[in-house]
Amino acid sequence: MSEDFVNLLADLKEDEVLKMTRKRIESKEDPLKIMEDGRKGMELVGKRFADGEYFLPELVFSGELLKQVTEMVKPHLTKSSAQAKRKGKVIIGTVAGDIHDIGLNIVDFMLDVNGFEVFNLGVDVPPQKFVDKVKETKAPVVGLSGFLTPAFDSMKDTVEALEKAGLRQNVKIMIGGGQMDEEVRKYAKADAFGKDAMAAVSLAKRWIGVN
């Protein structure tokens, strides 16, 4: 069932995906497993996009489809996570000049269900907005998302803005998104690069010091 679900999502078969999501929820399957399959499906979509099989409309549609799945699954997830005490605060946002939010929303969701209090600043976020949010929330972890190459400079600008505001030593910064890798991490002077939403969760757990 898992594999079928991943492939149906990657093939953008909306009706079948939603039908199968309903079925999996009704059969009391672990909702996190459904979300994990959603992530795998999105990975395939990303690969097809990178290979030129899919274009921006498919990418946007896949994000909308995953959003629908998330909406269906979320009520079954938060019951358990809502009872747990929040582990810590994380600020996330897509940096200035970039409007991709598919990965951002998956990270938001996965952090949320893993017990973190998430402040999602949305897309095209100027450096100052990150600075203001760190001052306001005292969150120890900041996640910068970006899909396009211009995001490299925006990430660097954001880290430098936190340095200038005297906040850099108080926060750990992770980056993630389409073209991000270890080289970009060094360029942006971030602390770590996460290849997917689960990597973001484990980094946040490690930095905040929770299991």
Q: Which two tokens stand for residue 151?
A: 């995001």
Q: Are residues 107 and 61 in the same domain?
A: no
Distance of alpha carbon 10 from alpha carbon 45, whole angstroms: 5
pLDDT in tens, 177-205: 877 899 999 999 999 999 888 789 889 99
Q: Which residues, including other chains, have CB under 8 Å from residue 74's CB and lie 6 or more apart? A: 109
d(CA 161, CA 153): 12
| Structure-model confidence comparison of residues 92 and 62, the more confident one | 92
Six-digit token string for 137: 């929330």
| CATH code of residue 27 | 1.10.1240.10
Q: Considering the entire predicted model, what is its pTM?
A: 0.67
Provide the token pair at 145: 């998302």
Give yes or no for a contact between 73 and 112, defined as CB atoms under 8 angstroms apart: no
The total number of structural domains that make up the chain: 2
**Sign of the alpha-carbon dihedral angle for 82, 88, 89, 92:** negative
Phi, psi of 91 (to 5 degrees): -100, 130
197: CATH: 3.40.50.280
Q: Is 62 in the same domain as 137?
A: no
Model confidence at 211, pLDDT cuts 50, 70, 90, reads: low
Whether 49 contacts 55, CB under 8 Å: yes
Mean pLDDT score, 154-176: 97
Dihedral sign computed on CA atoms, order 163, 134, 145, 210: positive
- Exposure string over 58-70, b if 16+ CB within 10 A, otherwise e: ebeebbebbbebb
Give the pLDDT score at 99: 85
Which residues are 172's β-sheet partners? Answer: 141
pLDDT of residue 111: 86
Gap between the Cα atoms of 32 and 84, Å rounded: 16
pLDDT digits (tens, 9 = 90+) for 12-71: 999 999 999 999 999 999 888 898 898 788 878 878 887 899 987 888 788 889 889 988
- pLDDT per residue over 124-146, tens digit each? 999 999 999 999 999 999 999 99
Q: How much is the pLDDT for 180? A: 87
Domain span including residue 16: 2-83
- pLDDT of 83 reads 46
Name the pLDDT band for 78 (thresholds 50, 70, 90): low
The pLDDT score that the predictor gives to residue 82 is 46
What's the pLDDT score for residue 79? 52
Which of residues 60, 83, 106 is at a domain's end?
Answer: 83
